[in-house]
Amino acid sequence: AQSVSQHNHHVILSEAASLELGCNYSYGGTVNLFWYVQYPGQHLQLLLKYFSGDPLVKGIKGFEAEFIKSKFSFNLRKPSVQWSDTAEYFCAVKGYSSASKIIFGSGTRLSIRP
Amino acid sequence: EAGVAQSPRYKIIEKRQSVAFWCNPISGHATLYWYQQILGQGPKLLIQFQNNGVVDDSQLPKDRFSAERLKGVDSTLKIQPAKLEDSAVYLCASSPFANTDTQYFGPGTRLTVL
């Protein structure tokens, strides 16, 4: 069965610190991978996505993620966080076929100390 | 471009009562999704529509939940009767096509069942 694991439930960092949020998935086939973000009081929105090609994907606001197929991982990174990055981050996986549904992880709450 | 609209934003009901949620997707988007997000968890897909047809409702508790999208535009999700464990945020999302990458989420309806 498909599943997504986000082991860090709450991460607290100071401004300018580097960020890495873990995401591991379980799926027997080709996958599409996503990171969604929900800023306080706002809707869920797409941060970045991986479909194929270069496993290092760049998204909005300086975020990037690396797909490592052998480790079934799609970790999110940012070299220097800002207070405005405070949000909840969700990793998601979807099988390549149109019949596959998207599965979200439980989310990681990121708090940035100013 | 107007986003996905949902109403009401908040709803409090007693267990065994009925409740309905409404969603208006982004104009022209063929695919509409309903998700349930329980506190501390990621969104879980309940049902996916392609125009006015159901693509996936495998995770919809059909004994109490129903959804329709009669004219391929607006959609309603109903719970009858509600249980305590239905307390959650119900998210509606839309996308231009069935197997597209980006889903656009609405603000959600927060349901509390007492």
Split at pLDDT 50, 70, 90, the class of B100 is low
A49 sits in the region (left: phi over 0; alpha: psi -120 to 50; else beta) called: beta
* B39 token code pair: 């506190």
pLDDT tens, position by position, B58-69:
999 999 999 999
At A84 the three-state DSSP class reads: helix
Residue window 73-102, chain A: list those with CB within 8 Å of chain B. Answer: 90, 92, 97-99, 101-102
Q: Which of B3, B45, B104 sits opposite A102 (nearest CB)?
A: B45
Q: Which residue of A lies nearest to B3 if distances are taken between CA atoms?
A: A43
Q: Do strands B5-7 and B19-24 pair parallel, antiparallel, or not at all (unpaired)?
A: antiparallel
> Chain B closest CA to A108's CA: distance in Å?
9
CB proximity list for A79: less than 8 A, separation 6 or greater = A18, A19, A62
* Average pLDDT across chain B, whole number: 93
Burial class (CB in 10 A: 0-12, 13-18, 19+), B114: exposed
DSSP B103: -
Q: DSSP string spanning B82-96?
A: --GGG-EEEEEEEES
DSSP A79: S
pLDDT tops 80 at residue B37: yes
pLDDT of residue A89: 98
Interface probe with B: pick from A35, A44, A98, most Cβ of B within 10 Å: A44
Q: Which of A32, A49, A106 sits opposite B41 (nearest CB)?
A: A106
Residue-level pLDDT, tens digit, chain A, 114 residues: 789 999 899 999 999 999 999 999 998 888 899 999 999 989 999 999 998 899 999 999 999 999 999 999 999 999 999 999 999 999 999 887 767 788 999 999 999 998
At A60 the three-state DSSP class reads: helix
Give the Cα separation of B3 and A71 in Å (integer).
36
Split at pLDDT 50, 70, 90, the class of B101 is low
pLDDT tops 90 at residue B38: yes
A34 CB neighbours in chain B (<8 A) are: 101
pLDDT tens, position by position, B17-36:
999 999 999 999 999 999 99
Split at pLDDT 50, 70, 90, the class of B75 is very high
Binning chain A into helix, strand and coil, the percentages to the nearest 5 are: 10, 55, 40
- The answer to whether A12 and A60 are in contact (CB under 8 A) is no
pLDDT tops 70 at residue B99: no
**Mean per-residue pLDDT for B68-74?**
89
Q: Which of A45, A51, A104 sits opposite B43 (nearest CB)?
A: A104
